[in-house]
Chains A and B, each alone.
Chain A
Amino acid sequence: AQKVTQAQTEISVVEKEDVTLDCVYETRDTTYYLFWYKQPPSGELVFLIRRNSFDEQNEISGRYSWNFQKSTSSFNFTITASQVVDSAVYFCALRGGANSKLTFGKGITLSVRP
């Protein structure tokens, strides 16, 4: 069975603050993929990043960075110098083994205040 836990439900920060969104996963598969999606108020899921289980290198893309640690089964997402446009619900998701379906966490609602 696969499971994704996003323990934080709501986070509120002031613009320009850094914020980290936590994600912990469970899977018995040796090969798996992890994802982060953003869901703005418009409702459409926007893909942010994919990591496979063999690549533990951290990644940075502009103000976004991701920290993948297999030892703690975590895939955390940090937004540096947050902006109001970052306000959205963020989902972590897992795809394991030969399954094609994504298993999502419950999401974290991020509010960035001006």
Chain B
Amino acid sequence: GAGVSQTPSNKVTEKGKYVELRCDPISGHTALYWYRQSLGQGPEFLIYFQGTGAADDSGLPNDRFFAVRPEGSVSTLKIQRTERGDSAVYLCASSLEGTSASSYNEQFFGPGTRLTVL
């Protein structure tokens, strides 16, 4: 597609349930990022993939959160035993490649998945 797509656009679940959020990056983009945006806040970094591997997962809040990118394209963010505090918009971004200290490739963001945990 022309841009980053995310599904579903909205997800309502009950406390304790398991959810999966999907991100389809721009074709050819090797780097993929997940961010979480709580109400009234800026996006907060969760995890970054370069190809199939997680290059930086320092932003994952705890072990209930996990993400995969098995073929280096589509990524799935998985949240186990959801809690009300997990309610937020989950944003995905992709870029042509990862970055080095001397270069940068712009991150293009998707529309996000709004997760509501009741």
* Contact surface of A with B, Cβ cutoff 8 Å: 4, 29, 31, 33, 37, 42-45, 47, 50, 52, 91, 93, 95, 97-107
Contacts and interface: CB of A to CB of B under 8 A. Distances in A.
Contact of A47 (B40, B89, B106): B106
A44 B111 contact: yes
Interface string B44-55: 110010000001
Contacts of A91: 42-43
A102 B104 CA distance: 11
Contacts of B106: 47, 50
Counting chain B residues whose Cβ lies within 8 A of the other chain, the interface size class is 20 to 34
27 contacts: A31-B101, A37-B109, A42-B111, A43-B111, A44-B110, A44-B111, A44-B112, A45-B109, A47-B108, A47-B109, A50-B104, A52-B104, A91-B43, A93-B42, A95-B104, A99-B99, A100-B31, A100-B33, A100-B48, A100-B55, A102-B35, A102-B43, A102-B107, A103-B45, A105-B42, A106-B40, A107-B42
A72 B65 CA distance: 38
